[in-house]
Structures are given as structure tokens and as C-alpha cells.
Amino acid sequence: MAEQRDGISVRALLYILLAAGVIVLVAALWVGWTTFQVNHTTERVLNLYEPAAQDISQLSVANSDMQRGVSEYALDPSQESLTVYVSGERRSSLALDSLQSELGSDPDLAPYVRGVSESRQRWVDEVGAPAIAAVRAQQDATAKKLITGARGHRLSEDLDEQTARLDQAVEDERSVASSEVSQFGARLAVAVRVAIGVVVLAIGVGVWILVWLVLKPIDHLRRQIRTIADGRHYHQPISRPGRPKEVAYLASDAEIMRRRLVNEIDEARSAREALEDTAPVVAAFRRELESEAPVVAGLDVYGRVLPAEGVLAGDWWDCIVCPDGSVALMVTDISGHGAASGIAAVRLKHLLVDSLRSGADPVSAVTTAADMFETDESRFATTAVVTVDVATGQLLWVNAGHHPPIIVNPHGTVRELKPTGPLLSWIGGPWQLGEQHLAEDEVLFCFSDGLVESHDSSGEELESRGLISMLSEETQRGSSMADTVESVLAAARDRAKDWDRDDVTLVAMRRTPSQS
């Protein structure tokens, strides 16, 4: 459609709206200034006069304790009486320091603070300190004269009077400020009403101008875009409205965007078809990470891996029979989760499994597996490799930075297979070999950090102690390893509010009495 050149443009309309905006801005500034005055005065009451009033109250109490302490000390020169004076004198000094900090820059209140400070110092210099010194010199008559004499009474009364004047001055200032807050609040209410009226008027004028010149052309353009967005007519070109000119330009830009989106849709369709073609590859990787315990007489093994996202996990476990007849249990946690971690997990699994099947001990197997990280400094893994002689119960392990596997007996006693070296990374080892004994009916549990680092609704982690409590309870029931693992995972999942934050692995192994 040819562009029409008659009629008002959006730019001209914006100038009109700009003038209305200036009026609105002036009204807003008026409201803002009045609000500032209200807030400033309120802040002065809350942050200056309220704390000052509290400090004066504390000062009055402290002065009273100070004077009472001297009197009691003169009558009963004990450490307890002296402590009352010392405590009151210190609290009085701190209260005055606080008042000086709060009111020292206020020309109306600063003289009152100085008056209290000077009066207090005179009382301390002429009554308090000399009376205490006289008591210590066993001059009780002198001490009592200093306290009860005319000079002592005048100084005490002057201190109380100066404190009362300061209290009254602060209260007067607070009353004035509160009155100002009320006045400013009334002015603010008027300013808000006027500003609302101005805004409503400006909006009304703007709507009256815009509805026929802009909204209708834009609505027509919007209907076209929605028709394209429903996915059935995205090949239909977007027509340009006659006016205003800016909306016509917008329609042209929308048409350019539509053409680009058509290309993106075609590319996305091709990508989806390619993804469908590669789905068997993902399934193959998943099968590589899945494990099934071998059938070994006298041994019950069961484990589960729950990926945090997708179908590939960075966690895996496996259980194999070694050439010497022992059974090797492996649990590994690759950093991250998702497809990239799953691929790295497959590589690491093959390295460990192949090494153990070739007769390597756990230390050699872990050392060989660590070589894969020499070319990938951004990735690391933790792993625990445990071999068990089913006949004798001899247990050897290497723990490369993994959460310590635990051994739980039916009575609830727990032993940990602590780390024997660093995690697997480009930094390397070394790793040491640990040795334990796995008795019949004891259960070996291996798990990943995704299980113990899950949080409940209050943000508390399960942690090892929480998991040990669950495992001990299940072990004492004598359930099969499959029932034990499934029950613990179900309980941990019911407790957790962030279960999908990381991959979760739990494996259990128990020697059964059939090998006796």
C-alpha cells in the first residue's frame, strides 16, 4: 500500500505529549519535594530525637546510680558499693559521649549537652572522687560532709536540673518536628491530589489523540503478527498501514523479522530431525553408564543413579569380578551434570573397569584413570574404588576425594573409608591403599554428594550424619540391598526441596552368611 503523506506524524504527536509531560514532571517534582520534607523531618525525629531521649533516660539513671553508689560507699566501704558508683559513672560518661555525637552539631541543643557535662564533671571532681578518696583514707566524717553538705547538695541538684533541662529541650524539639511532619503530610496530600489530577488530564488528552492515529494502525499490525505467530500463516507477508509513517516503518521491520523467523523455523525443523536421528546415540551412552551387579555367591549388591537432568548423569557406579576372584565396587562423581558430564563419565568408567579387569590393584586403576584429565583442566571427578574378598571379608580401598563410603553393622556401629588421596584432576595423585574388614551381615554403602547435599524446606542439608541415621535404621531391619537403597532414596527425596540440583547415587553391598 502506498504511503500517505497527509495527517499528523507520531513525532508531532510526541511534541504535544512532551509538553503535557513537562506539566506532569513539575507536579511530580512538587510531590517529590514535599515527600522529601516529610521523610527528612521524620528521619530527624527517629534518628536524632528518639535516640537522644533514650540516652537522656540512661544518663539520668546512671547519674542516680553514681550518686547512690558514693553515698552507700561512705556508709559501707565495700567493693559492692564502689562497683555501683563505678558502673554509674561509666554509663553516665558513655551516655554523654553518645549525646555529644548526636546533638553536638545542633546549635539549639549543644549548650544543654555542655551544661550537663560540665555539671557532672563538677560533681565528680568536688563530691564523688574526693568522697571516695576520704573513705579510703578512713576520713569518714570528711566523706559524709562532702556528700551531705550544702555544696554537695547544690552540685547534685544542679546535675539533676541540667539533665532535666536537656530532656525538656529535646522533647520540645521533638514536638516541633512532629508538628512539622503533620503539616508536611497535609501539604503532601494536597500535592498528591493535584498531581493525580494533572496526570489524569494528561492521560485523557494523550488517549484522545493516540486512539485514532496510532492505536488502530498498530492493532491492525498486531492482528497480522498474531496470525503469523499461530504457526499456520507465517508465510503470509505483513502489509503496511497508510499512516502514521512510523507505524508503516514498523510494519516494514516486522516483515523483515518475519522473513528471518521463517528461515529460523526451517533450520529448527532440520535440527529437530537431526536430534531424532541421534537419539539412539544418547541411549547408547546411557546404557554404557547403567550397571548391574554380578551374581556372586555370598554377596548382595544393589545401586541406583538418579540424573539431575536429561537421561545422562555425571555419576555412575559399577561392580565387577576381578581376575583374583575379589569383587570391585566403584562409585564416581564427575563435575557438572547433563550430556557433557555423561560422556566424560563413560570415558572414566571404561578406564577404571578395564584396568581392574586386567588385574590392576585399586591404586594403579585410579592412577591410570586420572590420565584422562591431563587434557581437560576444567573437569574433575571424585571416585571410590573398593575391592572385597568375599570369602575372607578383606576390604581394600582407594578414595580419591569422594564422600567417604561407610560400613554399617546391624548394631548401628559405623566406620568410614576416608579419602586416601586427592580427587581426579589434571593435578594428579598420589593415592594410598586403605584396608578394612567387612564382616558378614555388615553393609558397605557408597554414595555421591548429590544425596548428602540435598536441602529440606528450612535449608538444612541432609549431610553424612543424616544419611547414616537412615542407613543404620534400614540395616537393622535386615532388608535386602535393593529394598534398603530404594527406601533410603525415597526418604531422602521426600525430605528434599532441591532434589534435582545434582545427580544422586547410592550403592549398597553386603556379605551374606552363605560364605561361612
Enclosing H/E stretch for 28: helix 10-44
Contacts of 239 (CB under 8 A, 6+ apart): 1, 224, 251
User: CA torsion 65→68→69→75, rounded to 10°?
Assistant: -170
Q: Domain ranges in the chain?
A: 10-202, 291-515
Q: In this structure, is the dihedral angle defined by the CA atoms of residues 481, 484, 486 and 489, taken in order, positive or negative?
A: negative
Give the CB-side neighbour count of residue 87, counting CA atoms within 13 A.
12
pLDDT at 271: 47
Reading the chain (516 residues) residue by residue, the pLDDT tens digits are: 334 444 566 667 677 778 877 887 876 777 776 676 666 666 666 667 788 888 888 988 988 888 888 888 888 888 887 888 888 889 988 988 888 888 888 888 889 889 888 988 999 888 888 888 888 888 888 888 888 888 888 988 888 898 888 889 888 888 887 777 777 677 777 778 887 887 788 787 777 666 766 787 787 777 777 777 666 666 677 776 766 777 776 776 776 676 566 556 644 554 444 444 444 555 555 566 666 778 888 899 999 988 876 556 678 899 999 999 999 999 998 887 666 777 888 888 999 999 999 999 999 999 999 988 887 777 899 999 999 999 999 999 999 999 999 999 988 889 999 999 999 988 888 999 999 999 988 999 999 988 998 898 888 898 888 899 899 888 888 888 999 999 999 889 888 888 888 888 999 999 987 544
Cβ(481)–Cβ(442) below 8 Å: no
Give the CB-side neighbour count of residue 326, counting CA atoms within 13 A.
22
Q: Which residue has the cell 556372586?
A: 296
Contacts of 227 (CB under 8 A, 6+ apart): 233, 236
47 three-class SS: helix
Q: Distance between the two ends of the chain, CA-based, in angstroms?
A: 94
pLDDT at 230: 66
- How far is residue 455's CA from residue 126's CA, in Å, rounded to a whole number? 66
Q: How would you classify the pairing of strands 434-437 and 443-447?
A: unpaired
pLDDT at 295: 86
| CA 463 centroid distance within chain | 18
What predicted TM-score, i.e. pTM, was given to this entire model? 0.47
Q: According to the CATH classification, is domain 10-202 in 1.10.150?
A: no
pLDDT at 475: 84
Q: In this structure, is the dihedral angle defined by the CA atoms of residues 19, 22, 27 and 30, taken in order, positive or negative?
A: negative
The fold adopted by the segment(s) 291-515 is: Phosphatase 2c; domain 1 (3.60.40)
- Matching fold, domains 10-202 and 291-515: no
